[in-house]
Amino acid sequence: MTTRFKPSATVAAIIAHEGRFLLVEEHTPEGLRLNNPAGHLDEGESLVAACIRETLEETMYAFEPTHLVGVYMSRFQRPAQAGVVAQDVTYLRFAFCGHLGALVPERTLDTGILRTLWLSHDEIQASAKSHRSPMVLRCIQDYLNGQRYPLTMIHTDPSISDLHGVRP
């Protein structure tokens, strides 16, 4: 029997303010890396809810997605290292832009997140070698090019939330 291909679904927030973008610096097996506030879709969660949750967890800021910037696929390969098996993961990323809300001071940054940074497009381009994924810059460039799609493009059937009795 052939194993079915299952990409890893992720979300990312593209947050701009006064010409700068909110990024996170995070610990990875490859060292410190820069990323958009991003993370994995959890079971029973809509894509929009996942983006709201991940942004809060990684930045301590509330976030309200208003548009889908794009859907992206990328492949990550990590060679086997001492005691660690090789990884080959395809990511399916849904990137959103929207309104940054208030800082939630009682929150703490998620495990692995060192700090948040506000960087200009030029600074982000110059730091491309330290990006977690090639999608970090691509999503920002698409945002700057005015790429926006209505959230109504995304439909989450109520059966998703029925898993945990929560509305998407």
> What CATH number did the domain enclosing 116 receive?
3.90.79.10
Tell me if 1 is assigned to some domain.
no
39-67 mean pLDDT:
97
**pLDDT tops 70 at residue 116:** yes
Domain hosting residue 131, numbered range: 8-161
Tell me if 167 is assigned to some domain.
no
The pLDDT, as a whole number, for residue 55 is: 98
Tell me if 168 is assigned to some domain.
no
Q: What's the pLDDT band for 163 if we cut at 50, 70, 90?
A: low
Rounded Cα distance between 119 and 35, Å, is 11
Rounded Cα distance between 14 and 45, Å, is 20
